[in-house]
Amino acid sequence: MLKQRQQKLRQMLKPYFNTTDLKKCFRLLKPFLVKQWNIYLLMFVSLVIDIFLTIAFAWFFGNLTDTAIKGDMNRLKMLVPIGIGFTLTSVVNNYIYIYFDTLVSNGLKRELQNYLFQHILRLPVGTVANLRSGNLLSYFTNDIHRVDGLSGSNLINLIRLPITYVAVLIYLIQINWVLCLITVIVAPVAVIGGAFFGFILKKSGREIHELIADINHTLNETFQGLQVIRSFTLEKNVFRTFSRKNKDYYHLELKNAKLQGWYSTAGYLLNSAVFLFSLCLGAYFISEKTMTVGNLLTFINLVGYLVNPLTGLASQWAGFQRAIAAIERVIELLEKPVASDELPSFSPAIKEIHSIQFKDLTFAYEENKLIFEEFNLQIPAGKVTAFVGPSGAGKSTLFNLLQGFYQPKSGGILINGIPTAEFSFSDLRSAIAHVPQETFLFGGTFRDNLVIARPSITEEEMIEACRSAYIHDFILSLPDGYDTQIGERGVKLSGGQKQRMAIARAILKDAPILLLDEATSALDGETEYLVKAALDKLMENKTTLVIAHRLSTIQHADRIFVLDKGKIVQEGTHEELIRQKGLYQKLHSSSFIGSEMKKDTVGA
């Protein structure tokens, strides 16, 4: 029965003293902290000086008082410069300590942010697709800043508090051991209480960090989708959602503040009780002539250091727990495996294409939902290959796999007879220029968006590419030319202008493989003509794979593959396919491939 009760109690207390997460955090932080060992050493020296000064000051007050009561002027004259010396040392030491504390905390945050950012950049596309961008932002704007709780002075306090406690206790025992007993008796209360509060604070801390991430996500999505929100008049709904989360956040912070309030009140109460008790007992000892006034002053001055390290250690524990709650979220992300060891960068290793082959390729985004099974396909080099097929057939997935965004379950893709898995991402992706359906442009100028295509692009190359993409004249018509700001995501440009910018960027990249995902959105006649002309220039001397919607592109293609449910169901030229009974004919007659196609064929 007793054993059962003990087990139950142990089970109940287990989470309160669980150190697994703490160990995990320190395993993550260890390499960064080790790097800063010299600053920590200096902080330790500063700490030893501080402890010495704490006791020295108390000794000074007691001695000064007793000397004054005795009226010993010679000793007083000697004590005053000592006091000044202590004060000056303390001021300098304090400054140094704060400076080093800031240095290590901010240094750690900087390193950790770089580490996390690199990690996110190296994560597989599939992993990032499951993360919310607001959440990702929250790691940087909120969670990482909590690492303060596990570094700098908070870390040093782990040593400072016990050393202070022991040093002060030894010194005070010599003054009056009975008074010291009181503080020793309250020690377990302070330590256990602090550990308990620490656990509760960690729990509420985790809830707060998750809610902050959620609010960041809502804000991010709202600002990105402001146009949709306006056109569907969702402002009221969006505001209601935001203000509800904001209210939850307010209440959680309030709950947390209450807990912290209780905790510090309890610490204050304990401190005051010990102080009052020591004072009364000390006064009694003075009246009994077993203690001097100076000694009592010294004792009262130091007694706080016998309680504070205990409550302080417990509060340190509480602070640790809150920091752990935030860092745990960061660790969860860091534990996700990366796709490559290095950060990819431009590396034009593959200069020519002799063959591209999909060989026995089996792929699924999700378990048990195969998109391709034992898929085989040979892409002719230096030619234009078009893919057509109904929505969801797997056309974009082929592009994703070719660029190494996702890894096949079995089989693979060979470029020039070499499996793409053997190329680094830098080599593979530098050999491919992808013009997606939706053009993403960075906020900044035209120039900023063009020069990212490849390192060391000259002004002449940039202008030539823009001429070929039929966007140069438009850019020059603007007052600042290539230095004109295009707005966030290029909001100041039309759909056709954005597409031509994407084409200019692909021309500048000058990669031997071109992946083209034609936009389905219709452009006006002149823009359509310009985009088509730009594409023709882009496709020259390249091995081009195009997800085609325009008849002109399909007619221009050397080979067309009709894809349905992850299988090639037909292949040939447009003329061959249009004569065959099959999906291609069906797609054509239902104007799936593009109204332009039907119109032109009917006209032909």
Ligand X SMILES: Nc1ncnc2c1ncn2[C@@H]1O[C@H](COP(=O)(O)OP(=O)(O)OP(=O)(O)O)[C@@H](O)[C@H]1O
Residues in the site for ligand X, rule: CB under 6 A?
129, 365-366, 371, 389, 391-397
Give 327 or 398: the residue with its C-beta nearer to ligand X.
Answer: 398
Give 36 or 544: the residue with its C-beta nearer to ligand X.
Answer: 544
Q: Are 549 and 390 in contact (CB under 8 A)?
A: no
Give 507 or 587: the residue with its C-beta nearer to ligand X.
Answer: 587
Please report how close the Cβ of residue 467 comes to ligand X at its closest, in angstroms: 31
Nearest to 201 by CA among 329, 314, 331, 330: 314
Report the C-alpha dihedral over residues 77, 81, 82, 87, rounded to 10 degrees.
140
> What are the beta bridge partners of residue 516?
435, 546
- Alpha helix ranges (H) inside 390-494: 395-402, 425-430, 446-451, 459-468, 472-476
Give 20 or 130: the residue with its C-beta nearer to ligand X.
Answer: 130
Give 145 or 559: the residue with its C-beta nearer to ligand X.
Answer: 559
Give 287 or 391: the residue with its C-beta nearer to ligand X.
Answer: 391
Please report how close the Cβ of residue 192 comes to ligand X at its closest, in angstroms: 50
Q: Are 301 and 58 in contact (CB under 8 A)?
A: yes
Nearest to 174 by CA among 330, 359, 298: 298
Cα 25 from chain centroid? Answer: 16
d(C-alpha 497, C-alpha 48), whole Å: 67
d(C-alpha 87, C-alpha 248), whole Å: 48
Please report how close the Cβ of residue 389 comes to ligand X at its closest, in angstroms: 6
Rounded to 10°, the helix 525-539/495-509 angle is 10
Give 206 or 565: the residue with its C-beta nearer to ligand X.
Answer: 565
Give 268 or 365: the residue with its C-beta nearer to ligand X.
Answer: 365
DSSP at 541 = T
What is the residue whose two structure tokens read 């002449």? Answer: 460
Q: How many CB atoms lie within 10 A of CB 51?
A: 16
Nearest to 263 by CA among 317, 184, 203, 326: 317
Q: Are 428 and 403 in contact (CB under 8 A)?
A: yes
Give 512 or 594: the residue with its C-beta nearer to ligand X.
Answer: 594
Please report how close the Cβ of residue 359 comes to ligand X at its closest, in angstroms: 19
Please report how close the Cβ of residue 396 comes to ligand X at its closest, in angstroms: 3
Q: Do the bridges between strand 384-388 and strand 543-547 make them parallel or antiparallel, or are there none, so unpaired? A: parallel
Give 35 or 409: the residue with its C-beta nearer to ligand X.
Answer: 409
Please report how close the Cβ of residue 406 comes to ligand X at its closest, in angstroms: 8
Q: How many CB atoms lie within 10 A of CB 291?
A: 20
Q: How many CB atoms lie within 10 A of CB 12?
A: 9
Supply 58's token pair.
């108390």
Please report how close the Cβ of residue 159 comes to ligand X at its closest, in angstroms: 50
DSSP at 14 = G
Give 195 or 370: the residue with its C-beta nearer to ligand X.
Answer: 370
Sequence-ordered list of residues with C-beta below 8 angstroms from that of 128, at least 6 positions apart, any chain: 120
- Give me the DSSP letters along 161-205: HHHHHHHHHHHHHHH-HHHHHHHHHHHHHHHHHHHHHHHHHHHHH
Please report how close the Cβ of residue 49 comes to ligand X at its closest, in angstroms: 59
Local structure of 385: helix, strand or coil:
strand
What is the residue whose two structure tokens read 């709950």? Answer: 255
Please report how close the Cβ of residue 5 comes to ligand X at its closest, in angstroms: 52
Please, what is the end-to-end C-alpha distance for the chain in angstroms? 94
Give 11 or 391: the residue with its C-beta nearer to ligand X.
Answer: 391
What is the residue whose two structure tokens read 């892409």? Answer: 379
Give 93 or 400: the residue with its C-beta nearer to ligand X.
Answer: 400
What is the residue whose two structure tokens read 């230095």? Answer: 483
Please report how close the Cβ of residue 399 comes to ligand X at its closest, in angstroms: 8
Please report how close the Cβ of residue 386 comes to ligand X at its closest, in angstroms: 13
Cα 221 from chain centroid? Answer: 17
Please report how close the Cβ of residue 364 comes to ligand X at its closest, in angstroms: 9
Please report how close the Cβ of residue 408 comes to ligand X at its closest, in angstroms: 14
